[in-house]
């Protein structure tokens, strides 16, 4: 769910030994525009694959790392389970992963204001200033349905991965990161 690859600059800045990234997204248009506008000088390092990630045939035990930002929240439990399996299969033993998603900050005293921001303000701002865009029309609903990353973290754990969960900004986003153990059963 690479989208416009907002995270790639940080990735290449922090890890200058990254040789190439395989970016998977179901939408080619988004990727092409992002490559022209944001990533011209690093396009030799990005290989794009147009695919539904849930049907992906990425080679097993092939990736040093898997990352995904803000692509999980529309997935059902069954789809999250497929994705967890794919992450586990695609990583090399010893490979690492990190995923983050917008979440419902349950228990935070400012949660009602945050929800108002997601449900009402963001869609209005989008309607007024970004004519035609519908990126934020459903974000409140999706975030409500998603909850947080706990369920996905459990699925990754069940796939035999080592898993750590992190809360960002009082739980407005949650992340899961970790590693495929060297002795994972589906090593090559």
Residue 53 contacts ligand SAM per CB under 6 A: yes
Residue 27 contacts ligand SAM per CB under 6 A: yes
Element of type H or E holding 174: strand 173-179
Binder of ligand SAM out of 1, 81, 119, 122 (CB under 6 A): 1
Binder of ligand SAM out of 11, 12, 22, 26 (CB under 6 A): 26
The number of angstroms, rounded, from the C-alpha of 85 to the middle of its chain's C-alpha atoms is 15
Residue 65's nearest CA partner among 179, 184, 182 is 179
Residue 52 contacts ligand SAM per CB under 6 A: yes
Instruction: Tally Cβ neighbours within 10 Å of residue 22.
Output: 15
Residues touching ligand SAM: how many (CB under 6 A)?
16
Instruction: Tally Cβ neighbours within 10 Å of residue 178.
Output: 19
Residue 174 contacts ligand SAM per CB under 6 A: no
Interatomic CA distance for residues 148 and 170, integer angstroms = 12
Residue 98 contacts ligand SAM per CB under 6 A: no
Q: Which two tokens stand for residue 125?
A: 């701002």
Residue 98's nearest CA partner among 179, 155, 9, 3 is 179
Cβ distance to ligand SAM smaller for residue 75 or 114? 75
Residue 2's nearest CA partner among 37, 36, 47 is 47
Residue 96 contacts ligand SAM per CB under 6 A: no
Cβ distance to ligand SAM smaller for residue 53 or 176? 53
Cβ distance to ligand SAM smaller for residue 7 or 96? 7
Cβ distance to ligand SAM smaller for residue 67 or 96? 67
Q: Could you list the residues that contact ligand SAM (CB under 6 A)?
A: 1-4, 6, 24-27, 30, 52-54, 69-71
């Amino acid at each position: 769910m690479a989208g416009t690859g907002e995270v790639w600059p940080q990735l290449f800045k922090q890890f200058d030994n990254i040789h190439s990234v395989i970016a998977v997204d179901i939408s080619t248009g988004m990727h092409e525009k992002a490559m022209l506008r944001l990533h011209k000088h690093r396009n030799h390092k990005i290989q794009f694959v147009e695919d539904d990630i849930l049907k992906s045939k990425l080679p097993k035990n092939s990736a040093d790392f898997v990352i995904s930002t803000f692509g999980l929240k529309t997935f059902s439990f069954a789809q999250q389970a497929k994705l967890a399996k794919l992450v586990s299969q695609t990583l090399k033993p010893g490979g690492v992963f990190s995923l983050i998603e917008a979440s419902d900050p349950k228990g935070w005293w400012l949660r009602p204001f945050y929800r108002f921001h997601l449900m009402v303000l963001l869609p209005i701002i989008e309607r007024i200033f970004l004519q035609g865009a519908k990126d934020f029309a459903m974000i409140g609903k999706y975030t409500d349905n998603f909850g947080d990353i706990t369920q996905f973290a459990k699925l990754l754990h069940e796939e035999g991965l080592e898993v750590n969960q992190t809360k960002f900004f009082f739980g407005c986003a949650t992340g899961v990161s970790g590693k495929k153990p060297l002795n994972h059963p589906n090593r090559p």
